[in-house]
Amino acid sequence: MFLEQARKLDREDPLARFQDEFYLQPNTIYMDGNSLGLLSKRAEQSLLDSLEDWKENGIDGWTQGRQPWFYMSEIASELLAPLVGASPEEVIVTGSTTVNLHQLVATFYQPKGKRTKIVADELNFPSDIYALQSQLRIHGLNPEEQLVRVKSRDGRYLVEEDIIDAMTDEVALVVLPSILYRSGQILDMERLTAEAHRRGILIGFDGCHSVGAIPHSFSKWDVDFAFWCNYKHLNGGPGAVAGLYVNRKHFGVLPGLAGWFGSNKEKQFDMEHSFIPADSAGAFQIGTPHVLSLAPLLGSLDMFREAGIEQIRTKSLLLTNFLLELIDAELVGMGFTIGSPREEYVRGGHVGLEHKEAARICKALKENGIIPDFRAPNMIRLAPVPLYNSFEDVWNVIQMLKTIMEEKQYEKFTNERDVVA
């Protein structure tokens, strides 16, 4: 019954054609696109184009060739802006996730009087917490006292009322994930932004697990800033240049970490010692862009332009709904607990399965040609990606999980993560 349902959904899938655009390995089902997206033929071609520009033009590749490097970040930003609900001027492809967070906090965290605290959450990805602690220390403040990490009531999810309650008159800045990296819970960014602003607090979001997976309306919601990586759902490649958003109401604010690529492009090569920033989010660039880690994103974003983020989100929900349905039907009594929201409006692009033997099960899945993701201490994350995963893929993954559990194939592995999980 479920296999026929999967095949019917695949026949009706308007995004099915994009599967042929990706390098899918034979006898392998890739379910880890929320950690690193797969290579597409278009991303490969846009990288090869930049290599050809380098080969043929040398230094003139900055302004000549197929995709001139001097303007590449802005070109990518134009393609990326619709995915985050912003104008192209409010988006810039630059840096890495953590560098961009440092840049934005260095700019917008301005402790004054008793407003000295930063609100985050205890479920956030560690890198964000490290950066926030570092920024507090730069200001001579004690992170143990000044970084408020909102508690989770159950270890999986955050309650938005708890976050709002933490927005006291001692808070200068709030930095939260748009989607929790373990459970996949989507936070109500519009509501949280309105509540922060009502209290005179600036707010920003880490969009690493949401950009490319769900639609956003950063400008409409009046979000102050956001930052994200481009190698997960956007398939920009390992170490792909990241992205950031700055609301246009903040244009003209000097970046906390100034660098020459944040200059007005007409003035950048004047070599003056007076910094004249770009009149856009481009001002928040620091150094020369890593062209060969940026070029693949142009090809990938071209596919997103064709597919449309609304259509991608529609298929994503169908895939994760089908995944949840199969888990309920096929894995009963095997020790699994669903660690992601069942409600569509708060579920991101992956499903987390909790199990006490999770690390061993992930290794058994890999041995059988299925690539999952493990998150300590006990979560298997499965991310069926709309552009290259099918509904039959989802069915096959659950059948293999069932076989692994019934045959206890996981028992030959240690229940420890690999160096890279």
Binding-site annotation, residues for pyridoxal 5'-phosphate? 97-98, 125-128, 206, 209, 231, 260, 288
* C-alpha of 347 from chain center: 14
Contacts of 144 (CB under 8 A, 6+ apart): none
Q: Which residues lie across from 370 on neighbouring strands?
A: 29
Helices H / strands E in the chain, number of each = 13, 13
User: HSE of 23 in the Cβ direction (CA atoms, 13 Å)?
Assistant: 12
Residue type, 23: Y
- Asked whether the beta carbons of 380 and 38 are under 8 A apart, the reply is no
Cβ neighbours of 243 (radius 10 Å): 31
Integer Cα distance of 282 and 264 in angstroms: 8
Integer Cα distance of 356 and 377 in angstroms: 8
Q: Which residue, 266, 289, 275, 301, is CA-closest to 88? A: 301
* C-alpha of 324 from chain center: 22
What token pair was written down for 61? 């590749």
- The position carrying tokens 């069942």 is 342
Q: Which residues lie across from 117 on neighbouring strands?
A: 171
- Going by the annotation, the residues of the binding site are 97-98, 125-128, 206, 209, 231, 260, 288
